[in-house]
Structure 1
Amino acid sequence: MNITEAAKLLTVAAGFDRRQVTEVTATAWAAVLANYPYPECERAVIEHYRDSKTRGQYLNVSHILDRVESSLRLRTRDIETDVRAAKARGIVPKTWPDNLPLSAEDAGRLQAARDADRETSEQLGIES
């Protein structure tokens, strides 16, 4: 995310909480959110205000990071879980580092495998 996108994101947030969007704030948010895609961050802002648990809280950049990392499965615990599952399914080699996120292609293959497993368990009447 660049400064222009960060300013746009802050403007979206301002639509909810009337915050002042400044160049300093946009620069700071851009630095923290640099590695995250704008659409995911905007979705996180909107989800923050839709969520009954957080809508009363003043949105800050940590709320966005938490939601985006969760949705993109970038938390260490999620990465390790995905890598373990991908290794077990032969999607990545057993030598794949446990803390290295899967590529987008491998993550897609893992999700497809999980979806297929879920569908099979539903057909068999097994609750997950």
Structure 2
Amino acid sequence: MALGDLAFDETGKFSGIRALPEGKVEATYLGTGKLFGVDYSSIYTGIATPHGGTLIAEFNGTCTTKDGDSVGVWAHGRGRPTGNGLQASWRGGVIWRASSPRFVRLNNVPGVWELEIDEAGNFHLKVWEWK
């Protein structure tokens, strides 16, 4: 298997965080970026569970282009704190749900992602097709 094209290149900020039972954390974040060169905005919500000094998380979200095309996102990953506050580094996999002809090819390939978060909750997300 090889990495394919860079699908998503996004920046944004956590917009809400709340503590859940058993040390779990729910986070919602908003972003903007490029999806194969097309501008989009996004909203995601995820739940992270502590596991052996790291966090395991599942995220769900939607990315919507300025033309009204949307891509659903279902992602899983593992992260670890890298500093103060919300600073962390994450890696994982994603399955997309696209109905728009423009992005329907995403339904046939999984993706891999990396997410870097700074102390204040600003993030940079990159997602590649996995061919």
Instruction: Give the TM-score taking structure 2 as reference length.
Output: 0.23
Report the structure number with the largest CA radius of gyration.
1
Which structure carries more helix by proportion? 1
Q: Which has the higher strand share?
A: 2
